[in-house]
């Protein structure tokens, strides 16, 4: 779909370990420094809990754990990317804990390769495609899929 029309979009990149990821900037609301997260009992490990975002209670997901990587120690670079996700036909605000936020850059749709069918450690359905920046691959995430209700609310099953 994306390949037929050539339009330029902006992406925010962040890292998890060595990997570089990107999400469309329109999905990102703001980036916060790491703050105390209140754990909600009986929820999966990657659901870190909730934070207070100016009076709103916002859930935070550990992206490393969500993608099956090992948990990292918090550093000064650790931050929470606040995003707007459409979940169950509702706009929901959600935080993603990442190792570091890199930059905002533009990509033409022509520069985006479809996700490879094999050889990725990440579920291909989570990817919109692959981009490249200075010889480094960037995984462009389909954040609505990553944060879909079924992905996150496996909660109850694990809880009980």
Residues at the interface with another protein (CB under 8 A): 36, 38-43, 47, 49-52, 54-59, 87-88, 90, 92, 94, 149, 152-153, 155-156, 159-160
Nearer to another protein, 7 or 90 (CB): 90
Nearer to another protein, 2 or 53 (CB): 53
Nearer to another protein, 25 or 57 (CB): 57
From the CB of 92, what's the least distance to another protein, in Å? 5
For residues 84 and 27, the answer to whether their CB atoms sit within 8 Å is: yes
From the CB of 88, what's the least distance to another protein, in Å? 6
Nearer to another protein, 80 or 140 (CB): 80
46-54: which pairs have CB atoms within 8 A and are 24 or more residues apart?
Answer: 47/152, 47/155, 48/97, 51/80, 51/95, 53/82, 53/93, 53/95
What is the spatial distance between Cα 112 and Cα 5, in angstroms, rounded to a whole number? 12
**Beta strand 19-24 pairing with 47-53:** unpaired
From the CB of 52, what's the least distance to another protein, in Å? 5
Nearer to another protein, 91 or 118 (CB): 91
Give the containing element (helix H, strand E) for 130.
strand 127-133
Sheet holding 127-133, edge to edge: 100-108, 8-16, 19-24, 136-141, 127-133
From the CB of 49, what's the least distance to another protein, in Å? 8
DSSP state of 113: B
From the CB of 138, what's the least distance to another protein, in Å? 27
């Amino acid at each position: 779909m994306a390949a037929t029309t050539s339009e330029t979009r902006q992406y925010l990149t962040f890292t998890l370990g060595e990997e570089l990821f990107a999400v469309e900037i329109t999905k990102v609301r703001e980036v916060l420094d790491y703050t105390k997260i209140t754990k909600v009992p009986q929820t999966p490990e990657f659901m870190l809990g909730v934070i207070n975002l100016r009076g709103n209670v916002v859930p935070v997901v550990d992206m490393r754990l969500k993608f099956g990587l090992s948990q990292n120690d918090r550093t000064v670079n650790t931050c929470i990317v606040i995003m707007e996700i459409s979940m169950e036909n509702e706009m929901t605000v959600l935080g993603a804990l990442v190792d570091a936020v890199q930059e905002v850059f533009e990509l033409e749709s022509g520069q985006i390769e479809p996700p490879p069918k094999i050889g990725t450690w990440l579920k291909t359905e989570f990817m919109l495609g692959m981009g490249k920046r200075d010889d480094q691959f960037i995984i462009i995430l389909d954040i609505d899929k990553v944060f879909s209700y079924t992905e996150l609310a496996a909660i109850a099953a694990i809880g009980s």
